[in-house]
Chains A and B, each alone.
Chain A
Amino acid sequence: MLRFIGRRLLEAIPVMFIIITGTFFMQRFVPGGPFTSEKAVAPEVQRNLDAYYHLSDPLWKQYRDYLWDLTPKTFHPLALRDGLDLKAAFGIDFRPSFKYNRSVNEIIAYKLPASLELGGWSLFVALGVGLPLGILAAVRHNSWLDYFCSSVAMTGICVPTFVLGPLLVLAFAIHLHWFNASGWNSPIDRVLPCLTLGSVYAAYIARLTRGGFLEVLNQDYIRTARAKGATETRVIFRHALRGGLLPVVSFLGPAVAGILTGSFVIETIFQIPGLGREFVTSAFNRDYTLVLGTVILYAGMIVSLNLVVDVVQVWLNPKLRFE
């Protein structure tokens, strides 16, 4: 197992390198730059700006310097306790943002927690709603309960977040005044966004759980367990759960990454100060360092989540251990 994890970690290095290199050069070939506006900047000013942001250096030199700034140089993970400062903890410097008067490290440290909190609660909603719905539907297969749960799931898949979000705002914030229409100040502000983001994933999870369980419940070993007189609860939780969850687990890797990176729409609808918005708007702003910072961060997350999923799958499915 350790060898497996080690090999996967080594494989991640070239993947990250390709992502960084690709992003670095691709964005430079897009027309327009961080200082493009309808009125041209005076030539003197442009020169000063280019010098300040090291844009007057040749591209290969900018790339080399950037890679060096990115390379981890220290290892003080305990520094993370005082805040998400990757520079203090690992010596990773994402450089100053081109647009904001802050470094990309600071922007990530400030905004990632909001995205993680949004993602965490949404995942909680997704699993808390999706798993029970799916299990219920599978256990009461082809009953009205199954049809009900499946229709709820289908609706969840079909209604996109940018429709569900404003509908919830209209109903619960504007008409009923239960919640704020936007903002991220008090705990109650978390409810609507997390419900919106979580519901779509809940729907997928419900369908996957139902499918996985139906397959497992027809297996011989379940029939054996029932024949030996195990209670229905024991059959489901002790025998069927582990196998039935396999499809959900493989879905969760990309799903968690999607929840964390795909929160742009939710963050815009509810005005949440998260990183998802920066991920998208930085590209429009040609904020080169912020684009790279968010891409690297998200790519790192996806790579590590995939690794976690692979490990969990091996743990859940003994058959894989021999491969």
Chain B
Amino acid sequence: MRFHAPGFALIALLISAGCHRRSEPASAPGEAVLRISQRNEPDELDPALAALPDDFFIIRALSEGLVSPAMQGGEPTPAAAERWEVSADGRVWTFHLRAGAQWSNGEPVTAEDFVDSYRRALAPATAGPHADLFFAVANAQAYASGRLSDFSQVGFRAAGPAELVVTLERPVARFLDYAATGPWIPVQAGTVARFGRDWTQPGRYVGNGPFVLAEWRPNQRIVVRRNPRYHGAAQVRLGAIQFLRFDDENAEENAYRANEVDVTMALPTSKLELYARERPAELHQAPLAETRYLAFNTRRPPLDDVRVRRALALAIDRRKLAIDVARGGRQPADRLIPPQLRPADEPALAPAPAGGLSGPAADDEARQFLAAAGFPGGRHFPRLELAGWSNNPVLEAIQEMWKKSLGIDVAIFNRDARSHLAVARAGGYDIAFLPLIPQLPDPLPALAGFATGAPDNYPQWSDPRFDALVAAARTAEPARAGSLLRTSEERLLDQCPATPLYFNAQNWAMRQTVHGWQQDGFWNRSYLDLSLGAAAPP
């Protein structure tokens, strides 16, 4: 008997597929198409409802707010608003919209559109996840909580077709940075009213940004095309951008090597050295405005003793941790607030007993603190739990440092990310590895998170002096708020309910043909100056 079957299935598959080798995405010939890896499928493309930075990667290509974040740091830049002025008391901001600006469907962009968008973003029925970014505006918080139902009392007013007046509760030093955040991006009320929650589909989406939504295939790709009606259309040199969905960094890296994507979101840490050696021009690294820190549960002995916390904080060699263990351009952190949130000319902090980067030299001091707390040489020190999410070599390194310098043992315990955060927030841990991810360059929300009873107060810490400093900074003159916040951070580092480890960084691969890539440390991007061309000479 004869069998020709073994390879039959294979052959059939190959033949059925053979004629369609490589389907290139439909695009006009000669048009520059950039392919960017999109690591998270967007939940939403509605600026009022989107929750993740990844959603705003796409929303910012489609629409723009009054102002846009400055990619190089500094004051936000004009976007839908051409210019603005602020009253002498700093409470009333008047934004002048661009004359003749159009939505992608050709209708004019008016101040009324912005008022409508913000009414919708704040309405309790909308359930916008970031409605709190509007709370600096007069009565916005009351309206969002449902206590106030008359939107005309909220501080948004269209003074003319192109003039938007925003009245704040009190002067806010960083107000423009709030206005530059994603939820402040407007929507066209008529379009939303017509299609309801489905208005974000291709063909319906109306934006005022450099691109229009052309295609959205869930978990595959999102394609945006150049918007000829955009006020800066002359500046936009790309014909289209494809956001290709990858949820695994290895699959993403494979696709990059197979030339299926031009810009990746990240690189596996294990591949960093290879890229640095073999494709240095394609390896990119940028600091992120994020701190990774350890929270000590100040309600649990022996961590309720500040000397124990200081000892643990001092015994961590942050330089070694950031550069040898976390790697990828992560910088050792001597304080909690990342540099992007601080003015460049800010004076250094007063040295805290448990501050600085520490290192072998600090070990003696650490041992003294531990001995003073009643655990000389780490004897009788209970076995604490060091909680984290996903397997993290950083935790193992810390475990080893404490063992070596203090003679104490901790157990590492991993949960999935959401369980970890929920358990830590409820105070069910000893020591927790946590991220601090500010949304905008204002240190106040980050520090206010450590005030007594604040939901982000993972250490369950309560310090009247710190609370008073933060409360004073909230209501202080913008000029004085900075120094109050600095003092409160000094207090926090001194009392050590949390100890910073390193500032995060992003590593990604990008082809040399991509020019004008711009991003900041808050996961914002600008697609305006992007172009594709010949690789720059080395």
Contacts and interface: CB of A to CB of B under 8 A. Distances in A.
Contact of B131 (A44, A135, A186): A44
A42 B132 contact: yes
A106 to B, nearest CB: 9
Interface string A30-59: 111101111111111101110110000000
Nearest to B417: A284
Interface string A11-37: 000000000000000000011110111
Contacts of A38: 421, 434-437, 456
A184 B220 contact: yes
B43 A182 contact: no
B502 to A, nearest CB: 16
Given A233-B1, A269-B251, A286-B418, A48 B131 contact: yes
B93 interface: no
- Secondary structure call for the A interface: helix
Interface string B325-349: 0000000000000000000000000
B20 interface: yes
A271 interface: yes
A135 B127 CA distance: 61
B9 A187 contact: no
B349 to A, nearest CB: 24
B6 interface: yes
A207 interface: no
Interface in A152-190: 166, 169-170, 173-174, 177-178, 180-188, 190
Given A42-B135, A166-B254, A198-B9, A188 B17 contact: yes
Nearest to B434: A38
A276 to B, nearest CB: 11
B258 A48 contact: no
Interface residues of A, number: 73
Nearest to A126: B9
Given A128-B8, A181-B260, A284-B418, A273 B219 contact: yes
Given A32-B419, A182-B251, A232-B1, A52 B219 contact: no
B126 to A, nearest CB: 7
B246 A187 contact: no
B22 interface: yes
A182 B254 contact: yes
B125 interface: yes
Contact of B145 (A47, A233, A236): A47
A33 B422 CA distance: 8
Contact of B127 (A48, A132, A191, A284): A48
A217 interface: no
Contacts of B534: none
Interface size class of B (residues with CB under 8 A): 35 or more
Interface string A90-119: 000000000111100001001100000000
B218 A101 contact: no
A268 B248 contact: yes
A124 B10 CA distance: 9
A129 B9 contact: yes
A100 B131 contact: no
Contacts of B419: 30-32
A51 B41 CA distance: 25
Given A30-B419, A132-B5, A125 B10 contact: yes
A133 interface: yes
A44 B254 contact: no
Nearest to A45: B131
B197 interface: yes
Contacts of B41: 100
Top 3 closest A-B pairs, CB basis? A128-B9, A32-B418, A40-B455
Given A101-B198, A277-B247, 5 more contacts: A42-B131, A47-B145, A100-B218, A198-B9, A273-B245
